[in-house]
Structure 1
Amino acid sequence: MRPAGNTKLKSARVAAGYHTQQAFAEALGVGVRQVRRWESDNPPWPHPDLQQRLTHLTGQDMEALGFTIPLGRDHPSTQRRYPAVAPRSAGSHLSTVPSRSTAPMQPASVASDYASVTRSHRGLYWSVTPANLHPAVMAHADLGCALLSETAGQTRRTVATALAETWLLAGRIEFFDLREPDDAGATLLRALQAAGEADDSLIGSAVLAHTAFIPGWAGEREAAAERMVAARTYARRGSASAEFWAWLDAVEAECETRCGNTRTALHLIRHAEDTLAAGSEHPTPPWMDWFSAARLAAFKGNTEWKAGHLPQARATLLGVLDQLPDVEGKQRTVVYGDLAAVEAAAGQPEEACRYACLALDQLEITWYATGMDRIREVRRALAPHQHDQWVKDLDERLYGWATTVSALAR
């Protein structure tokens, strides 16, 4: 197998927005050959001034970037190697753990055991309250980091793959369920580094596409587009399925929609629909359980609404409700919210309030911050009707003790 090199630095470089070694070298003020040496299997220890530049550009310390501290240098330690990922401390910083410890090596069976818990968390995501599931997922990630230091070969790669999925799930909870984009960005970087340890391009692509949501939702189109280019590059390396390619189109479409480019977004969605219809010979990975034809239609309905195509958006979103299985409670909340927004834009406040209340009903079953964002957006659109009884009734539902405290805390 071809050596993977210093995947920690490679992943941190890509996550920081430097998709080529040349671009990274120019930002650091060094030659590209120097970057190649740092991304090799045995990276040399950089000079102090370059250490400062590296940590400044990537936001990580030298150990987390895959460098071995030489004896007698900055820290009193023996020579150590560090894994690509590590548990996050209670504060805002990310800590590291040694990649080799004094603990005995684990048996090969540890990889399948660890991955089975990862799969269980994947299923629990759809029904368990995010505030309860997130700590369990983070603790599982901490365990995975420890296991990396006690495994080798294929066993280590299997653990690293499951760890990448675990970090990805944690990042999705932080971004979509808890609306903590800064935490999500740091967590997704760890997921990308774990994917690099596993040399798994497809899960690396999925992580990169999720990182595009962060600038995309903030209206930063250029940054989102750069991350999508990287995601598509990794998808080509990983022989992505038609469903995976369609999802990448859908992610980019949502970013374009939030940046005000609904025409481009609708073109991407049409391309995704054609891709799904054509199919492919490559299978969709089992961990990609967040996308389907119905979810693509939900993306479409949201974009149609924001493009002002209200009759089409209404028809699309109602069709999505008919297609969604019962377990898709979180997605159902979003669809109800978008239908409420369509009716508000169409001058039907009573119907808008009805859909908003249905969304609140669903949120009482399974909390989803993205769904609550939709409802708050609808309520702002209903400001001209705030003295109508149905809007007052919505306010009674929307501003209970728990939701009011949550809104003020954000």
Structure 2
Amino acid sequence: MPRPTGNVRLKAARVATGFNSQQDLADALSEHAKRLGIRGLSIGVRQVRRWESDNPPWPQPDCQRVLVHLLGQSMEALGFTPPWGTDGSKPDPVQRTPVAPGAVPHRLPVAAARPASAFQPTTVGSDFHTVTRSHRRLYWSVEPSGLHPAVEAHARLGCALLPETAEPTRSVLAAALAETYLLAGRIEFFDLREPSLAHETLLQALQAAGEADDSLLGSAIIAHMAFIPGWAGDREAARERMTAARTYARRTPTSAEFLAWLDAVEAECETRCGHTRTALHLIGHAEDILRDGNEHSSPEWMDWFSPARLAAFKGNTQLLAGHLPQARASLLAALEALAPGEEKQRTVVYGDMAAVEAASGNPEEACSYAAQALDQLALTWYATGMDRVREVRRALAPHEHERCVRSLDDRLYDWSTTVSALNR
């Protein structure tokens, strides 16, 4: 007799609860989410099929809550293994408890409790976060291909430590772990150009943020996930993720800077999808938010946005919309306002300024800005900045026999730049 395959625990729980098909369970989970007050959660049969596969992915926090509450068992009892591992003990089923409509059920521990002697000291959360903070600062100056393995190793350590902690240390550690995964995902997407890998990493970041019950961090992670379909031209998927990001942001006090950044992210996605008018409207709204302000401060980990960055967003959108004088003014303002330590963003702005001049028929000025971008890239590598320079060179094809363009080619294709670019 053939041995059952796939996640037999979840399948057994499904059948035992009266759901004979995967579609039945998917429909029941989506309906149950509404009764629990979890809005906008729709679970399809494809997702249930993945959960019942040989290697089921660890569900997102809201999906976990609905699964546990509907089927009456813990995630481990349903055949799921958290990304940070378990202690190897056999989990006990979790009894269902009534939850009032609109309420959120209590989060369940990822692993069964360990003996007191196995628990980490209360300082482990702050100690782990200290390294996370250092990695965050190093991102702006250290070679990304060198920093990424260290960040990954730190994340693995956090996954190993998480089952060995109790509250409130556990929440501190989980939040720092989410920040670490977010940084790794940023490197993978913006620096290493690995969107598929970034998606998986950011999903792990979201799961860790769910363990910390940190809605604002969750919002930031989901907004970063919106970049992935946005840059690929999938407007519907990007907008859906931005809706989720804004929903999470509404659950907690949020600074004007963070709200403006959400507008900027959506604007960049709209720009990449060819909807520059919508993008410019979003950027205008972001400028209004920053001008009006509010009483809430931005989180320490939000070090990737400022009014200067918004001006750079605006200039890029105006460039792609064909509003060249306005783009030039916005980008020059961004260059003037960028602070020390924002060298990666400076390469992008130089690249966009070069693109403005190329589109305006000024090849010498375009080559000058592109050369400044290459000067900065030699000090601080940024794949997004190099992409901008390559786009400019393609735009300069009608002028490729001019001396300034040939000089740019000598810079763009020297030994170190060529080997570095092809290596990445």
Q: TM-score range by the shorter chain?
A: 0.7 to 0.9
**C-alpha distance after superposition, 1:169-203 (max 9, x if no partner):** 11001111111111110100000000000000000
SS of the residue corresponding to residue 311 of structure 2 reads helix
SS of the residue corresponding to residue 30 of structure 1 reads helix
Deviation at 1:69, TM superposition (A): 3.9
What amino acid does structure 1 have at the position aligned with 2:226? A
User: Structure 1 residues 190, 63: CA separation in 2 closer, same or farther (over 3 Å shift)?
Assistant: closer
Q: Which residue of 2 aligns with 1:281?
A: 295
Q: Which residue of 1 aligns with 2:190?
A: 176
Q: Aligned match of 1:68 in 48, 71, 76?
A: 76
Q: Aligned match of 1:79 in 80, 90, 93?
A: 90
Contact 2:344 2:381 in 1 (8 A): yes
* TM, length-normalised to structure 2: 0.78
In the alignment, structure 1 residue 52 sits paired with structure 2 residue 49: yes
**C-alpha distance after superposition, 1:112-140 (max 9, x if no partner):** 11111111111111111101111111111
User: Structure 1 residues 62, 335: CA separation in 2 closer, same or farther (over 3 Å shift)?
Assistant: closer
What amino acid does structure 1 have at the position aligned with 2:27? V
* TM, length-normalised to structure 1: 0.81
What amino acid does structure 2 have at the position aligned with 1:110? V
Q: Spell out the pairing of 1:168-247 with structure 2 (5 A cutoff).
A: 168-247=182-261
Q: Aligned match of 1:348 in 353, 356, 362?
A: 362
User: Structure 1 residues 53, 341: CA separation in 2 closer, same or farther (over 3 Å shift)?
Assistant: same
Q: Aligned match of 2:402 in 372, 383, 388?
A: 388
Following TM superposition, the consecutive aligned residue runs of length 4 or more in structure 1 with deviations greater than 6 angstroms are 62-66
In the alignment, structure 1 residue 263 sits paired with structure 2 residue 277: yes
Name the CA distance, whole Å, in 1 between partners of 2:60 and 2:214: 22
Name the CA distance, whole Å, in 1 between partners of 2:194 and 2:241: 19
User: Structure 1 residues 178, 372: CA separation in 2 closer, same or farther (over 3 Å shift)?
Assistant: same
In the alignment, structure 1 residue 367 sits paired with structure 2 residue 381: yes
**C-alpha distance after superposition, 1:82-107 (max 9, x if no partner):** xxxxxxxxxxxxxxx96766771011
Q: Which residue of 2 aligns with 1:308?
A: 322
Deviation at 1:409, TM superposition (A): 6.0
Q: Spell out the pairing of 1:294-333 with structure 2 (5 A cutoff).
A: 294-333=308-347
Deviation at 1:389, TM superposition (A): 1.1
What amino acid does structure 2 have at the position aligned with 1:340? A
Deviation at 1:396, TM superposition (A): 0.9
In the alignment, structure 1 residue 399 sits paired with structure 2 residue 413: yes
Q: Aligned match of 2:154 in 129, 140, 149?
A: 140
Deviation at 1:276, TM superposition (A): 0.4
User: Structure 1 residues 326, 79: CA separation in 2 closer, same or farther (over 3 Å shift)?
Assistant: same
User: Structure 1 residues 111, 384: CA separation in 2 closer, same or farther (over 3 Å shift)?
Assistant: same
In the alignment, structure 1 residue 30 sits paired with structure 2 residue 27: yes
**C-alpha distance after superposition, 1:354-389 (max 9, x if no partner):** 100000000000000000000011111111111111
Name the CA distance, whole Å, in 2 between partners of 1:60 and 1:172: 21
Contact 2:50 2:56 in 1 (8 A): no
User: Structure 1 residues 36, 315: CA separation in 2 closer, same or farther (over 3 Å shift)?
Assistant: closer
SS of the residue corresponding to residue 168 of structure 2 reads helix
Contact 1:172 1:184 in 2 (8 A): yes
Q: Which residue of 1 aligns with 2:99?
A: none
Q: Percent identity?
A: 65
Name the CA distance, whole Å, in 2 between partners of 1:27 and 1:376: 51
Name the CA distance, whole Å, in 2 between partners of 1:193 and 1:183: 16
Contact 2:255 2:296 in 1 (8 A): yes
**C-alpha distance after superposition, 1:216-253 (max 9, x if no partner):** 00111000000000000000002211110000000000
Deviation at 1:401, TM superposition (A): 3.1
Q: Which residue of 2 aligns with 1:20?
A: none
Q: Which residue of 1 aligns with 2:70?
A: none
Contact 2:26 2:48 in 1 (8 A): no
Unaligned runs of 5+ in 2: 1-21, 38-45, 65-73, 80-87, 93-109
Unaligned runs of 5+ in 1: 1-24, 41-48, 72-76, 82-96
Name the CA distance, whole Å, in 2 between partners of 1:172 and 1:327: 17
SS of the residue corresponding to residue 327 of structure 1 reads coil
SS of the residue corresponding to residue 340 of structure 2 reads coil
Select the structure of larger CA radius of gyration: 2
Deviation at 1:400, TM superposition (A): 2.3
Structure scoring higher RCO (CA < 8 A, sep ≥ 6) equals 1
What amino acid does structure 2 have at the position aligned with 1:68? E
Paired positions, count:
356
Name the CA distance, whole Å, in 2 between partners of 1:264 and 1:26: 37
Name the CA distance, whole Å, in 1 between partners of 2:51 and 2:243: 23
User: Structure 1 residues 323, 36: CA separation in 2 closer, same or farther (over 3 Å shift)?
Assistant: closer
Name the CA distance, whole Å, in 1 between partners of 2:30 and 2:270: 36
What amino acid does structure 2 have at the position aligned with 1:175? F
Name the CA distance, whole Å, in 2 between partners of 1:26 and 1:266: 42
What amino acid does structure 1 have at the position aligned with 2:76? T
In the alignment, structure 1 residue 122 sits paired with structure 2 residue 136: yes
SS of the residue corresponding to residue 118 of structure 2 reads coil
What amino acid does structure 2 have at the position aligned with 1:187? T
Contact 1:70 1:79 in 2 (8 A): no
Contact 1:51 1:62 in 2 (8 A): no
Name the CA distance, whole Å, in 2 between partners of 1:379 and 1:51: 47
Let me know the Cα RMSD of the aligned residues. Answer: 2.8
What amino acid does structure 2 have at the position aligned with 1:237? R
Name the CA distance, whole Å, in 2 between partners of 1:51 and 1:171: 26
User: Structure 1 residues 69, 406: CA separation in 2 closer, same or farther (over 3 Å shift)?
Assistant: farther
